Amino acid sequence: MTTDTSQDAVQASTMQSRAGFPWRTTALVVGDAASFLLFAAIGRRTHAESSGIAAIGQIAQTALPFALGWFAVSPFAGAFRRLKTTGVVPMWRRTQLAWIIAWPLALALRWALAPDHNVPVSFAAVILVANALFLGVWRAAFALVERWRAR
């Protein structure tokens, strides 16, 4: 008799989340937020703007429109649904789909919240690709750790 270890892992993890603190969603939210902060810090540094610990407020302000766009859309796109994000490949695919859907809102928020109201096409492309990569790598690593924990 064979068992589907990924299905067993989902069931075990679901029982843990129901029994106590919703660690999975909380970890994903914190990691996603950190991903946007890292993106903003690297972007600010690339443009010779303040980017160290002392500039955390400025970094957060830079990351805010992208994070708001993500968190407004990603739950509805299934980015936090266990059954759609268990495993590295499903996590990667769902994250990329959710970001592609959230990206236009993130751009609109960047335009609305930016002092210069400037979002060049090249910047929009960088936002799309860089955040897809940052979120995808972080969440794929999360899926690997989650699989390891389930064993």
The whole-model pTM stands at 0.80
pLDDT digits (tens, 9 = 90+) for 9-48: 555 555 444 445 689 999 999 999 999 999 999 988 887 7
Residue 64: half-sphere exposure toward Cβ, Cα within 13 Å: 13
Please count the structural domains in the chain: 1
CB-based contact 102:72 (threshold 8 Å) = yes
Containing domain of residue 104, as a range?
5-150
- Say yes or no to pLDDT of 135 above 80: yes
